[in-house]
Amino acid sequence: MVRTLIGHGIGLAALLTAAPAFADDGAFRPCDRACLIATGEKVLQAMVDHNPHVAPISPDVRYTENGQELLLPDGLWRTLTKGGSYRLRVADPETGVLTIFSTMEENGAPLNLSTRIRVRDRIVTEIETTVARPDPTVFGGLQPRPQDLKERPEFDQILPPEQRRPRWQLIDIANTYFRALENNNGKDHVPSFDDACHRIENSIATTNRPQADPTKPRTAVNMGCREAFTLGYYREDTRLRGMRFMAVDEERGLVQVNGFFDHDATVRSYTLTDGREIKVARTAPWTWMISEIFKIRDGKIWQVEAILLSVPYGMKSNWDNGWKMPSPQEELEKARAGR
């Protein structure tokens, strides 16, 4: 069963209670964490083999690649030539969902890949991929370098019970990140960050990066997560939408999210909370399609990894699944109604 709420909010314990992964319409074979991971590896290998029949994939599987619905084998299923060793997984047996960040090669060229599979009765019924290919005309400063990506054992670390949070709270904590990012001014909705918080996007460190030239002012990539947010460095992220919280691992404190970041290009400059003025280089509206994984430790965001793809401005998702949070307007209406 998939729950569909909308937008931002808190206090979702009653709404985000555990649900069976599959409808109980007779005997079915549940798929635990090990089963999901093994199934995901079979899917990735099937992509490299250009043959969906070598994995437990439904003949009616729904497949999208960068938001476009394709029939198998097509797209990556024709062009991938080699699998990489990098893996970052969020396994969610309660919903039958596994998400994987991996590195692959396409006709000899490296790429970053986000893959979400949904498993029902040990058969894959949905596959959603986001692929970031190196292309300086598209990515600019976030040019993917998959060959530089190193394993991040922090994500697979099992948290002690006192540092874990229930599913609904992990989703809510991850959502504070997006609330703060949208029209970021450094003052509203600042997330709770671990002091060691670090973020990697398209295999590139976008926090805590050493300065190439210490004589120049530091930018967001040279700062920790909290400092960049409190300075208001992300003001040009004017609208975040379609955020889908796809998979949760309470034991490891992981949340995987898909969605879109819009930049309407009306923000030409803005002032940081320390008084510095930032000028925006891009002159036209643009959108990031994102897949993002959060590691949350003791209620604080500790590690972040994302795959981003530049897509047509305002592009919408072909999926209506995952958990979505109530919007501020919906929260206000509920409060007025006394709910």
Residues with Cβ < 8 Å from 125, sequence gap 6 or more? Answer: 58, 60, 61, 62, 118, 119
DSSP 26: S
Choose between 329 and 337: higher pLDDT. Answer: 337
**14 pLDDT more than 60:** no
| pLDDT score, position 173 | 95
pLDDT digits (tens, 9 = 90+) for 318-330: 898 766 555 545 5
| For the chain, domain boundaries | 33-327
Give the pLDDT of residue 323: 61
Q: Which one has a higher pLDDT value, 232 or 135?
A: 232
- Over the chain, what is the mean pLDDT? 86
Give the mean pLDDT of 248-266: 96
Give per-residue pLDDT as tens, 120-145: 999 999 999 999 987 765 545 556 66
Q: How much is the pLDDT for 50?
A: 97
What are the helix (H) ranges across the chain?
Answer: 33-49, 76-79, 136-139, 167-181, 225-231, 328-336
- Nearby residues of 52 by Cβ (< 8 Å), 6 or more positions away: 46, 61, 72, 73, 77
User: Which residues contact residue 38 at a Cβ distance below 8 angstroms, ignoring those fewer than 6 apart?
Assistant: none
Q: Name the band, by pLDDT with cuts 50, 70 and 90, for residue 57.
A: very high
Per-residue pLDDT at 236: 93
pTM of the model: 0.85
pLDDT at 116: 98
Lowest mean pLDDT among 7-11, 55-59, 217-221: 7-11
pLDDT in tens, 141-162: 556 666 677 788 999 999 999 9
Tell me the per-residue pLDDT of 174-185, one tens digit each, with 9 for 90 and over: 999 999 999 999
Architecture in CATH of 33-327: Roll (3.10)
Query: Which residues are within 8 A (CB) of 54 and not within 5 positions of it... i.e. 6 or more apart?
Result: 42, 45, 46
* pLDDT for 175: 93
Binning pLDDT at 50, 70 and 90, where does residue 291 land? Answer: very high
Burial class for 53, CB neighbours closer than 10 Å (0-12, 13-18, 19+):
exposed
pLDDT recorded at residue 213: 87
Contact 303, 155 (CB under 8 A): yes
Q: Name the strands in the sheet holding 57-65, side by side, starting at the edge strand that comes first in the sequence.
A: 68-70, 57-65, 123-132, 109-120, 97-106, 80-92
